[in-house]
Structure 1
């Protein structure tokens, strides 16, 4: 275990080369390029090799992990300093440092506990701190303006995204994580509105608190919690409090619905897997379209589309997710389900099966989202906009059932069905936005 900490510390030390970018200018990539060359072709044994070597590196007698990390950092450094490229150097430095120091935080905590929640928390907290420091150092060196709320937001989003992506990849894939985080951070630097310290503290406090509650109640796994916190933070900052209320209503009610009479649903074979705790795949399948809509809303100045289109699309996607979740979780408790395509009786849990009780619960869920959107979101006329959102949720819920009956199981999985259904709901709402513009 100590060797893992020393290795992570070594990578963190190497990452500090990114802070030299303001002074090196166009040569910012050179230090990392040199490290990559030494790791790949020169260092084959000795103390340095033993410090950085991962198990596979010893077999190959080459520091592949260090070479890949340094090569990715060199590529980003080159990209950040190219003429006519607008990636801020602070984004490049933050991406490199938050990944390396986040790993160091995780490995340090591993020495005292095996708790996955503690590991993820250490990565996000230490990584975010390193990302903030990187931005402050780079911007101060270039004579720029220090923006504490903006720096913390970018660092937190980057660390959460890195923690999430790493759950689906291996340690050797850290270069991919670094590049992905840099590109995401660059996007949010461009589209994020100005924030106050109070606004950022509120956004972070609320999303982190609710994320922990979801984990403590068992409605989300650790990756699911990280995903929910990331999406919640982006929603409240890029959209606003009203958007966040709509999203969090789905997370809360959907999560509790999964736990409702769970043992009975498990006996019937219709319970949510993982004891009802939703993982990152499930959260993303139900929320990715909504996230794309809120990002589009923040980028309306670039896209030249009315903001109301993205607002109703967001609410339509969440309305679909809410309706489908309640229809499945409540409907699964009742007998006599029927296949949506033929209305013939089928066994509980059959893909594409519906019940009257489930459909009514789904409509009620869509109606709740419609009301929340009408009250707190820019959906045009509240009555018409709310009605569009409700209708979109019912459309999306129906598409989910049809896809389940026709395609799920053989060609596509449940998460793909959920994603396509929320997309259908968002498109239906966007089409209906012509009524509210």
Structure 2
């Protein structure tokens, strides 16, 4: 057994001590955390130090990795006892990170395949999180069977976020992972999603299948795949398959458009890196507003936010229309060698930020129309006028992207920031137009 596996096993065992909170109460849990912190502080050498130390701990011979991990758990524990975070979320989060890491390290003994390692982390994390939550609720006298769908949804969402953060960050950044996962699961628990166990399993299977297909087709990296799967799962559970169909249309068509005349793009120097595979930053830059709209819809539907849930549907559609329009515009328009700067109309080199072509603008209009057509066909709330609003929002958002590219990109904003602001502008335009028509009507 290698040192990383032994360390992961000890950390998983320490994570199991989080069950002291539901078993014996927060005071005993705090005492246990205090003992672990004290031990981590006083152990500076010897076999135990060698067992628990991360590579960075050897600089000062202090178990900073363990100390910060315990402190992050204490912070979540305080939220669970002093705030309204469910204790089950606290326990599930701690076990999720600890046992997910152990599962990954065990599999690494057999293979270094990145997808297999990520899958092993997620499976172990989901199992541990479901078990931790179930034990906590059973100790409180609640019927676990009726809660199983929600527990599985929370566990899967947390595992995907944890795997994503661990891929983007360093493996020793587990304290950040713990806090991020805990806060997400707290939010999702408050939304009180109503879904059956079979529906959750199908939702996970569908999103994982689409995510792996994007990775296999080299349209997404590991991080991009995980981001897409997480967004898809949240969209299905909190919105529905209609919302997911609109979202996946962007990922599928946008991803394939990246491959359009890829050799030509490489020759012009405008091709996406990594053979066109999009990472988490690109996915979030284009879909963060859509995710916020899904969460807003669920919160409004649950009575946690004021306003009509329908408005968030148009925010969602407007942001996706913008993302689709901008992606098709840039990926198709970039293969033509006579772009003009949108602010001055002077001819510029292909790939210049803010450069547009009539072919790209036409492709962008088609992209926005595709999203509008899907929204019109899938959502009763979207009539012909609503579909026209979605098209207009997508074109406006695409134009904002080009304007930001010509003025601020490369100085104040990066590409992901431009994408985010563009999709936000499309979402806001869509919402404002819907509200305006509602007032006039």
Could you say which TM-score interval applies, normalised by the shorter chain?
Answer: over 0.9
CA distance in 2, matches of 1:30, 1:363: 61
The equivalent residue for 2:51 is 51
Q: CA deviation at 1:170?
A: 2.0
Match of 2:410 in 1: 409
Q: Which moved more, 1:383-392 or 1:280-289?
A: 383-392
CA shift, 1:436, in A, is 5.0
For residues 176 and 24 of structure 1, the distance between their equivalents in structure 2, rounded to whole angstroms, comes to: 27
After superposition, the C-alpha distances for 1:105-146 in whole angstroms (9 at most, x for unaligned) are 121222222222222111111111111111111111111121
Task: Classify the secondary structure of the residue corresponding to 2:344.
Answer: coil
Q: Which residue of 2 aligns with 1:118?
A: 116
- 1:88-237 to structure 2, matched below 5 A, reads 88-146=86-144, 147-237=147-237
1:335 and 1:58 mapped to 2: Cα distance? 55
CA contact (8 A) 2:168 2:223 kept: no
CA 178–195 in structure 1, closer or farther in 2 if over 3 Å, else same: same
Structure 2 SS opposite 1:86: coil
For 2:358, the equivalent position in structure 1 comes to 356
SS at match of 2:210: helix
Does structure 1 conserve the Cα–Cα contact (< 8 Å) formed by 2:326 and 2:401? Answer: yes
**Whole-Å separation in 1 of the counterparts to 2:382 and 2:390:** 12
In structure 1, how many angstroms separate the alpha carbons of the residues matched to 2:204 and 2:307?
A: 29
Provide the C-alpha distance between the structure 2 equivalents of 1:407 and 1:114, rounded to a whole number of angstroms. 41
Task: Check whether the contact 2:376–2:383 (CA below 8 A) recurs between aligned residues.
Answer: yes
> What do you get for the CA RMSD once the two structures are aligned?
1.4
Structure-2 separation of matches of 1:203 and 1:436: 34
Are 2:319 and 2:427, in contact at CA under 8 Å, matched by a contact in 1?
A: yes
Q: 1 CA distance for matches of 2:402 and 2:438? A: 28
Which of these residues, 321, 325, 338, is aligned with residue 336 of structure 1?
Answer: 338
- Asked whether the 8 Å contact 2:333–2:356 carries over to 1, the reply is yes
Distance 1:38 1:87 in 2: 28
SS across alignment from 1:112: coil
> Structure 1 residue 381: deviation in Å?
4.3
Answer yes or no: is the 8 Å Cα contact 1:219–1:256 preserved in 2.
yes
Tell whether the 8 Å contact from 1:43 to 1:63 is kept in structure 2 after alignment. yes
Give the Å deviation of 1:47.
Answer: 3.0
Aligned equivalents of 1:417 and 1:57: distance in 2? 38
- SS of 2:25's equivalent in the other structure is helix
CA drift at 1:59: 3.1
Question: Secondary structure of 1:410's partner?
Answer: coil
Q: Distance in 2 between matches of 1:112 and 1:226?
A: 22
More displaced, 397-406 or 200-209? 200-209
Q: Relative to structure 2, which stretch is displaced further, 180-189 or 16-25?
A: 16-25
Q: Do the aligned partners of 2:368 and 2:390 also contact (CA within 8 Å) in 1?
A: yes
Q: Which moved more, 1:245-254 or 1:183-192?
A: 183-192
Distance in 2, matches of 1:349 and 1:381, equals 36
Cα separation, 1, equivalents of 2:116 and 2:308: 42
Matches within 5 A, 1:368-407: 368-377=370-379, 380-407=381-408
User: 1:17 aligns to what?
Assistant: 17
Which ranges of structure 1 fall in alignment gaps of 5 or more residues?
none
Corresponding residue of 1:254: 254
Q: CA deviation at 1:58?
A: 2.9
Instruction: Report the CA distance between 1:46 and its aligned residue.
Output: 3.0
> Is residue 87 of structure 1 aligned with residue 85 of structure 2?
yes
| 1:185-226 residue CA offsets vs partner (Å, 9 max, x unmatched) | 000011142111221122111100000100000000000000
Verify the 8 A CA contact 1:105 1:123 in the aligned structure 2: yes
User: How far apart are 1:416 and its partner, in Å?
Assistant: 0.8
Contact 1:374 1:382 in 2 (8 A): yes
Distance 1:335 1:62 in 2: 58
Runs of 4+ in 1 over 3 A off after TM superposition: none
Counterpart CA distance in 1 for 2:63 and 2:35 is 13
In the other structure, the counterpart of 1:292 is 292
Distance 1:78 1:349 in 2: 50
Q: Distance in 2 between matches of 1:381 and 1:322?
A: 18
Match for residue 325 of structure 1?
327
Retained in 2: the 8 A contact 1:32–1:74?
Answer: yes
Checking the alignment, whether the CA contact within 8 Å between 1:29 and 1:78 is kept in structure 2 is no
Q: When the two structures are superposed, what TM-score results if normalisation uses the length of structure 2?
A: 0.96
**Unaligned stretches of 5+ in structure 2?**
none
Question: Which residue of the partner structure matches residue 431 of structure 1?
Answer: 432
Distance 1:276 1:244 in 2: 23
Displacement after TM superposition at 1:390 (Å): 0.9
SS class of match (2:219): coil
